[in-house]
Amino acid sequence: MGPAQRSGTLRSRTGYVAPACTRSVDHGSHLFSEAGKGGLLTTIRLWTDEEVSANPRVKAVFDDIRLTRNSEFINNFWRALANDPDALERTWAAIRQIMIAPGALDPLTKELIYIAVSAAHSCSYCVHSHTAAARAKGMTPAQHAELVAIIALASQTNALATALQIPVDPEFEAGTIPR
């Protein structure tokens, strides 16, 4: 039975006067109070701690995240990835290697770059989570203001270069020849 049938009954409940918010909190709690179980407003199930505990591979990653971050909190991103243990392990391993392991860039600079990419990709979740992470790593309001100003400036000059189809200067190409 496809969503259409389900939605048919749902529609008789809700009609069109209260269309759902993209994340539809109301509709979610409505279904919750009605269905007696949580309405997770996403395209995939977010795992609860209970479900995590029942899956050794997922539990191992969650335990490492909690240990590494020294916090009990696990955000929705990981609870969604838990549906695919391979993706969960692969993604956490990449974050450990790139964002957490000591490297040539400091942790805050890495978060600023992460925010810049997330904003350019219009990823609401990632802008929120990494702005919070950057603040937790000490980003000051002045640094945030400069980050946002650079993101806006780059977006503007990117648009100018693209709208005018400006040819790359040979000098920039030459600048990348290995010596």
95 binds a second copy (CB under 8 A): yes
Contact 107, 135 (CB under 8 A): no
Beta-carbon contacts of residue 135 (< 8 Å; ≥ 6 apart) = 144
CB of 62 to a second copy, least distance (A): 14
* Stretch 14-33: interaction string toward a second copy, x if CB under 8 A: x-xxxxxxxxxxxxxx-xx-
CB of 12 to a second copy, least distance (A): 10
Contact 151, 116 (CB under 8 A): yes
Residue 27, helix vs strand vs coil:
helix
Nearer of residues 56 and 173 to a second copy, judged by Cβ: 173
Sole binder of a second copy in the list 53, 54, 63, 97 (CB under 8 A):
97
CB of 64 to a second copy, least distance (A): 15
Contact 137, 108 (CB under 8 A): yes
Residues in 48-67 that interact with a second copy by CB under 8 A: 48
Sole binder of a second copy in the list 35, 53, 63, 68 (CB under 8 A):
35
CB of 52 to a second copy, least distance (A): 11
Return contacts of 152-161, CB within 8 angstroms, 24+ apart: 154/116, 155/120
102 binds a second copy (CB under 8 A): no
Task: List strand residue ranges (DSSP E) for 28-156, in order.
Answer: none
Residue 167, helix vs strand vs coil:
coil
Residues in 125-164 that interact with a second copy by CB under 8 A: 125-133, 135-137, 140-164
